[in-house]
Each structure stands twice: as structure tokens, then as C-alpha cells.
Amino acid sequence: MSIPKAVPSPANSKAVILANAGIHAERPITRSMDSRLRGNDGLKDAGLEVEQVIGWLSEIPDPEIPAISITDLGIVRGVRVEDNVCHITITPTYSGCPAMQVIAEAITEALRAKGVPHVVLHTQLTPAWTTDWMTASGRQKLRAYGIAPPAEQVIDISRLNPAAAISRRAPRLAIACPHCGSTHTEVTSQFGSTPCKALYKCLDCREPFDYFKCH
């Protein structure tokens, strides 16, 4: 029987918590999930390949939107294997997200099921998560699931010059209906099935749908 690895608590550096408790510790991770930011960090230890671990993580569905994985969502920010311990860094989609504890437990259970003896989770709050971190594949999966993915926002720079500003209203986002593709849509509620989504309806096909808000 393996003994959970003890790590310092971020809330109290003198306290000790168990890695399999789903509580996160602060420790730098050397493997970034963004391929543009990582170099040859040589992450191979105890027979575990980091790319293999990332593949396992990509099989874990988001608890609120099971059509996409936690890697599709972009909340997995780093993976490192060291001294027979697998370190995973995750960033919440927003402060106080209730799904993060569920995700932490799902990661620990999934990796232990693959034979990883020790899993340590780290919470990284900065930089803050944005919808830009979602993968292109994740956006396509959202659309196929009936949820409109985050739309690109257009910044009206005319506001920087009051003399040139014609309107003070925010530019209207073109939210495409995931059912028919029409952008002839309108918001019916700023809050959908979860706080990160808004409720829209299509004025062409008349179907309601959730929109994953851009932030």
C-alpha cells in the first residue's frame, strides 16, 4: 500500500496535507502546457512520460461541460514528473469555481488508476485563466454539443478619443447559433445553466442555446 506524499499547505507553510486529499500546494512547475513557452525540459522519470500523462488528462471531462476535457478547457497549465511524483498545475476558470475540487479529485483518481503512485496538485492563480486558453478542438466540441463557443471581442478604440466617438454603446458580439450557424441571435439572460454561460436564442431557427461567455 502506497503512502500519500506529504506537501506543505499554501495556507500555512507549517501545516502538512496529503497529496491525495485534492488540496493544492504551491510549487513551480517546469512543464508548460503551452508549447510556445516550453523548451527541452527533459521530463522523463520513473518510466512516466509527460506526454503520456497529458494524454491521460485529456480523457478527463469537465464536470460542468462533459463534452470537453479539462485540457480542452485550458485549465491544466503544467505537468512535471520528479522522484516518482507527478505534479499537475491547474488554474480555475474563475475565483471560487466549485468544480475545481471535483476536477482535483478526478485528476488524482484518473492518474492513480493508470498506476501513478503519487500525485501532487498545484493551483496557479496568475496569470488568470481566459477563454483564449481553450483549444480549437474544445471550441468545436462545444459547438457540436449545442453550446456557442466564446466569440472574438472587438475593442472600439474610438472611445479613447471622445471627439471621435459616435456611440458609447459596447459593440454587439456576433454570436453564431450552434444549431444553424446564423448570427441572427439575441441574449435572453446573462446567466445560463452555469455562471460562465449566457442564454441566447436564435431568431432564425428559433432554438435556445447556451453561450460560453468570453473573458
Position 30 scores a pLDDT of 41
Contacts 24+ apart (CB under 8 A), 54-58: 54/79, 56/110, 56/111, 56/114, 57/88, 57/107, 57/110
> What is the per-residue pLDDT for 142?
96
**Using one digit for the tens of pLDDT, what is the confidence trace for 173-197?**
789 999 999 999 999 999 888 888 9
Q: Is a pLDDT exceeding 70 seen at residue 7?
A: no
Higher pLDDT, 214 or 61: 61
Average pLDDT of span 74-96: 91
Residues of the chain with CATH 3.30.300.130: 6-123
Residue 38: pLDDT band (50, 70, 90) is very low
- Cα 39 from Cα 172, distance rounded (Å): 40
Reported as a pLDDT band with limits 50, 70 and 90, residue 201 is very high
Q: pLDDT for 120-149, tens place per residue? A: 999 999 999 999 999 999 999 999 999 999
Taking CA atoms, 188 is separated from 24, 128, 191, 194, 201, in Å, by 38, 28, 9, 15, 7
Q: Which CATH superfamily is domain 6-123 in?
A: Fe-S cluster assembly (FSCA) (3.30.300.130)
- pLDDT in the model for residue 96: 79
pLDDT value of residue 48: 79
111 and 66 Cβ atoms separated by less than 8 Å: no
- For residue 117, give the 3-state DSSP assignment: coil
